[in-house]
A and B are shown apart, each in its own frame.
Chain A
């Protein structure tokens, strides 16, 4: 996500980074590039203006100009300002001290409210909370049916009264019922409405007043253009929303809406919806997203993702093995299977530092079948071969190739790669994990970019 913005900012910054000394005109040139990159990414025009102004002031300040490494300082400032623009470090949803936590969802038509409701329900269900959904979209044909189906999939109770009742009444009835049935969370789905439709905005304000929600969330399509700001301002007025859910982040949207909404309304982006499946929904971390846009990777999110898929014990065992250099192809196979459980590789790679800069990887629709082949090769080895791939010579090689339906060269390549990987992993296991900044420095400064090894 945000690839194009990320590309442009990275290339501008690598130019700046390569300079030992910065003049005011260097900074000006960089600011022009950044301004254009942000506009092309749909960041609101006014936000861009004030953002580049702040940026320029800081870049021309003493902390940069007097530093030994001004280019690096500029990168640091852009990173900080981007994170600030999107909301600093992540903020939390307010939860009710007692009784059900009430969350009211609002937004334009087609921004993805109903889907976001179900995904949010699923998010709470994973925390073992008892969730109810209130179907207050009585206008769009079949909206209630959609919520019933999707809510059911998420394991939530759906409170609905068809399409004849008044949305305000449905909401307050649902709240009473959620209290009675002692649900932990009540999520209220509302109809999509235009921010300039006074009648419907008044209805939203009424629902808000009647149910006194702990959180009001605005659902915003990540592909929204310049108008995102106007929409957010109107909803802030009528619904006083507390936070934003960004949807359709799995497209190639450049994220301008994400950058602008916080800047204008001061309300943070709390959640990101990133796919067709009900699980494709997570907390939004502005600081991490800023690093990702700058190609610094998002190692924290990757680790969190891994934590949910990999159990602690086997991870520790693995660490031990790596330290002692006992990592075998058998372990590699297990690892690969676990990583693949985390989702398609292209998504995971986007979180790694520096990966954004690697064109081959980014444009490659990573061929998951290639991984199937790798699995097949390992599965065609005997336990002894998996434990010590060095014994794989002539006839063994041929047998493995035949067994896995591959070629001898492919078997060779795998064994060689495995060797290289083992060296790298050993140093990482011994605590030499490169920091994102180090990885950035490694790529920049005119140094050759790391070559990607092709499988």
Chain B
């Protein structure tokens, strides 16, 4: 409609020339397509700065990483073409495979626990802590998101050390027998790192889910209550299905956090003891900057990207599928 209106002046100009309707229409069409083209161009112009930055700092490095992964290179001497052999190394070296498995184990702590616990906490806050108590709870839970991960990691390594508060509490309640250096023990290090991750991500998930809950029509809960539904049934029948999108976002964000974890591990355990907490992010760093095996490091990075996509895309499809 608008397009027709704006082309009016042309029609008026055209009329004295006694052109046929056909020609008129054609000219209108070409002018309109010219307009569209101009708008498209304008649109691209607006996007260009962002696109340039994205291309420069995301796409280009990505392409270069893929290129590096096909070479054997120490960072400054002439690279040697080795084809896919770096990928073979990544997918066959038991140490490197172990790092990938560790990342998946961390998903339990980084993703499963924060999302499930976040659902429970958010429901509780929504139902029973609406006033200032709810605000306090929200702030406290969200705080870990504000603290730099490195600082959090340092504090947690103190808490989890042999003489730390964690063990002091355990001793106080008579569990002295299980005290240990949690981050230095082969059996508990990965779990301890995971615990820190869960602590960091719980607040984010809770807040996201809580926000999602506010958009659910209260009438639904009311009618459910009239029908005699309890808290659990309410949760299962109303809250959970309504939050599908939010849960998908939480799972996506936390799964990515698990797979590409670096800072918490780097600060608290450095991948040890043994290689029990070594994760791909840290291994890429070690390979590239200590071992100077840039090729293998790049190959591991590409594998990591692919893995993240493989895990994330189904979650996206599932959440969108019958969302409408």
Q: Do A and B come from one complex?
A: no
**Residues of chain B having any CB pair with chain A under 8 Å:** none
**Residues of chain A having any CB pair with chain B under 8 Å:** none
